[in-house]
Structure formats: C-alpha cells, structure tokens
A = this chain, B = another copy of it.
Amino acid sequence: MAAAAPPPPPAPAPTPPSTVPEGSTPVGHPIFARIRLAQPTDVPQIHKLIHQMAVFERLTHLFSATEASLLATLFNSPPFLSFTVFILEVSSHPFIDIIQHQSDVLYPPSVQVVNLDLPIDDPEREAFRSAGSDVVVAGFVLFFPNYSTFLGKPGFYVEDLFVRECYRRKGFGRMLLSAVAKQAVKMGYGRVEWVVLDWNVNAIKFYEEMGAKILQEWRICRLTGEALQAYGNTN
C-alpha cells in the first residue's frame, strides 16, 4: 500500500498496560519488546507481515511484493537516508542472550518492558519466531525521508505501520511510531508524516493523541500501472 496501514485501533482500557523501566521488576505478565533496524535476513518475516497487512486492509489484489523484490530494494543505502524498516520483537524473557545484529551499531535497539494483565496467546508464534530463540517478530514500521521545501529540510514519511493482531492494543504501535519520531528529532528533521483512512476514527484518535494534526483538505494523486507506463515513450 502506498499509504500507512491504519494502526490497531486503541481500545479504551480501564487498566491500560503499563510500561516499566528496563531493569525494574515487572509484575503480572511482563513482555519484553525491542525495536531494532531490519536487516536482509528479516525479509521473509517482513514479507509475511506486509501480506498480513494486505489481508487486514482487504487489498490482497494489490499485493505483488515478493521476498526477492523486497530484498532487492530495501537495503541499498544506509538506514534513515532511504527506505528504512524497524522490526518490533517481543520475548517473555529479557533480550540478554540474543545475538547482536550488525545493524545494532547504526541504531542501538531500544527495549521496553510492558506489563500485561494476561499473557498473549500467539497462534503464529512458530511462523514468526527468530531462529534459535524465544524471540518473536510482532510488527514493523517502514519509513523513508521526505522533504519540506517550506522548512528547507527533510522529514520522515511513514509508509507502513503494522502490529500483528494478537499484539494490538498494548502500546506497540505507539512504540514503533515514537521510535520514528525520536529518530526524526535526533536527525534535526522537521516533520513525520503518514496517511490514514478517513473512516478509521480509532486510528485518527490514536494519532491525534500522539500529537499529529490531520490535514483534511489534501488528497493523494497516484499515477500507476498503464497510465504511468505510457510516459515511458514520451519525449
């Protein structure tokens, strides 16, 4: 999809899950959540997540990405300068023994502990498990630089934000979007932008709570398919 997938709609929770600092002793059912840069070995998981997003949006007829096309296009430049993917991983144990990823040097992973009232039953645990560990991929965000001529500086555009169904309404969507916003601030960028479907009131409420403004007057124009190909032969 050219537009960011709507995030999991936030549910009004009388007792929302609390985020406790790493290192402290969580009570209830703690889940350790880590955001790190994606790397080429994550492509099979990313491909599955994008397909789930297409199913969620009932847009599988528009889905033509393959693992090969993702691999060929997603890792051709340093992170943040072009297309960039953050992977959200969760684990019931601290990430102490996990192997280091090469990309950790470019973006030190951030870990939070979320305390849940109930444990999460993940029916796709095996399909999304990282090799040789109890770490599971729960979601991702794909973003890339955009540019504001009025500000005279770059920003980030969030193309996709997706959290697998059983991990929704637990603050992970916010965690992913916050990580992009934090990186934008770190780089001195002026804006973070994305799109939302106008009927997705829960998503709009969630985004507004995160500080975003919804620009009501602008519409996206898209030139694609045969209409685009026709320009290949013009002078």
Query: A residues touching B (Cβ–Cβ < 8 Å)?
Result: 1-4, 21, 50, 53-54, 59, 62-66, 69-70, 73-74, 77, 81-83, 110, 112, 142, 144-155, 157, 159-160, 178, 181-182, 184-186, 190-199, 204, 207, 210-224, 227-232, 234-235
Contact = CB atoms under 8 A, between A and B. Distances in A.
Nearest to A66: B152
A215 B223 contact: no
Given A70-B152, A152-B69, A221 B198 contact: no
A65 B231 contact: no
A65 B215 contact: no
A226 to B, nearest CB: 8
Majority DSSP secondary structure for residues of A touching B: mixed
Nearest to A218: B195
A219 B228 contact: no
Given A1-B149, A81-B82, A181-B231, 15 more contacts: A2-B148, A21-B235, A70-B149, A77-B77, A83-B145, A147-B159, A148-B159, A182-B232, A185-B228, A194-B220, A197-B217, A211-B223, A213-B222, A213-B223, A215-B221
A192 B65 CA distance: 17
A142 B218 CA distance: 18
Contacts of A54: 150
Contact of A148 (B1, B157, B192, B229): B1
B182 A197 contact: no
